[in-house]
Amino acid sequence: MNIMPNDLGRQYGLHAAEYEEKAIQVLRSGWYVLGKEVAAFEQEWAAYIGAKHCVGLASGLDALWISFRLLGIGAGDEVIVCANAYIACVMGISMNGATPVFVEPDEYDNLDADKIEAAITPKTKAILAVHLYGQACDMTKIMQIARKHNLKVVEDCAQSHGNHWNGKTAGTFGDVGCFSFYPTKGCGAFGDAGCIVTDNDELAQMFRVFRNYGSEKRYHNKMVGTNSRLDELQAGLLRVKLKHLDEFNAERCVIAELYNEELKNPHIRLPKIHKEADSTWHQYVIHVPKGRDQLADYLKERGIGTIIHYPIPPHLSEAYAYLGLKRGDFPIAERFADEVLSLPMYNGMTEEEQHYVIDAINEWEPTT
């Protein structure tokens, strides 16, 4: 059997006719960027997340860096981010000239809120709460700390499309919630796309102006902006995806549940979900304290693909050598990079495929 870590064609196949009908409709409309589909998607996404505004953008990275830019965070400022984040989270901070300050993750693979205060300095301006793998960070503690120290909070929801913390949707706690609709994400487009959500009227308007060269009225430019427009084809297709998002999230929960119940191997640790959180299971990430790479190779020999999210923590990445950080500075994040393994997880995965993965893992023994 051959099992991919993620098989986007399966999800497409579940509603192919609906996507194809929408695509033809947009192609025939004669209007391709920032139009009716974008406006409708922005309304529907804001309503789904439970925010006042949504502004469509070209990518998740754009959502992040433009958020920090419009919140006035740049050179000389520090932003707190988890040390096991995806590199794009860190780039969203550093692209504005601000300095990322790393904080170790907790047992839920998310920013350890109890370690944030020790990292705060007079230069700290914001916390980037990355809701990794489909589970929200401890937003109760993060918002308390932010209020106490007068910090902005940006949520990176690129992997969290519709999950909750204490019953409230991820993306609605901070000043801005940032989403990516890259094809592999929970609500994935058919190319690059992203958005922000916010309850702040003024900030939402600034995003609308900034994404289109800083122009509110055509050829009247209020500020130096950028081109980060969402196109009609992606927005239209995302509207179809959104209609089925609850169904996609529920299906991944069923898949995760089967892994949770049937994976039984003393050499692996299953993912932990906090009692205040639910997960949309963007990834099903196990920890393998000894022999992670061996397990990945063993599964590959059996036709089972896995991915490591992520093999190099950002502070050890060549891109961030200029920060002068070294191995040993964030031992938990470094250990996670050597331990984590994402198992196959996608909509349309069959029970037979899942049992094949489960049996293979349950039979595995690390060799020393």
Ligand X SMILES: *Cc1c(COP(=O)(O)O)cnc(C)c1O
State the residues that interact with ligand X by CB under 6 A: 59-61, 86, 88-89, 130, 156, 158-159, 180, 182, 192, 194
For residue 182, the minimal CB distance to ligand X (Å) is 4
Task: Closer to ligand X by CB, 29 or 226: give it.
Answer: 226
For residue 267, the minimal CB distance to ligand X (Å) is 28
The DSSP 8-state label assigned to residue 32 in this structure reads -
Task: Closer to ligand X by CB, 5 or 291: give it.
Answer: 5
Task: Closer to ligand X by CB, 226 or 294: give it.
Answer: 226
Tell me, what amino acid is at 140? Answer: T
In this structure, what are the phi and psi dihedrals at residue 303, rounded to the nearest 5 degrees?
A: 80, 15
Find the length of the chain: 368
Q: Is the dihedral of CA 83, 88, 93, 97 positive or negative?
A: positive
Task: Closer to ligand X by CB, 6 or 180: give it.
Answer: 180
User: Which has the closest alpha carbon to 355: 253, 256, 282, 259?
Assistant: 259
d(CA 170, CA 175): 12
Distance of CA 278 to the CA centre of its chain: 15
Q: Is 182 exposed, middle or buried (0-12, 13-18, 19+ CB in 10 A)?
A: middle
For residue 66, the minimal CB distance to ligand X (Å) is 12
Task: Closer to ligand X by CB, 91 or 120: give it.
Answer: 91
d(CA 180, CA 183): 9
For residue 180, the minimal CB distance to ligand X (Å) is 3
Asked if residues 98 and 127 have their Cβ atoms less than 8 Å apart, the reply is no
Task: Closer to ligand X by CB, 1 or 319: give it.
Answer: 319
What residue is closest to ligand X based on CB?
Answer: 60
The structure tokens listed for 165 are 């913390």
Q: Is 8 exposed, middle or buried (0-12, 13-18, 19+ CB in 10 A)?
A: middle
For residue 159, the minimal CB distance to ligand X (Å) is 5
For residue 212, the minimal CB distance to ligand X (Å) is 19
Asked if residues 295 and 366 have their Cβ atoms less than 8 Å apart, the reply is yes
For residue 5, the minimal CB distance to ligand X (Å) is 15
Task: Closer to ligand X by CB, 110 or 159: give it.
Answer: 159
d(CA 267, CA 147): 41
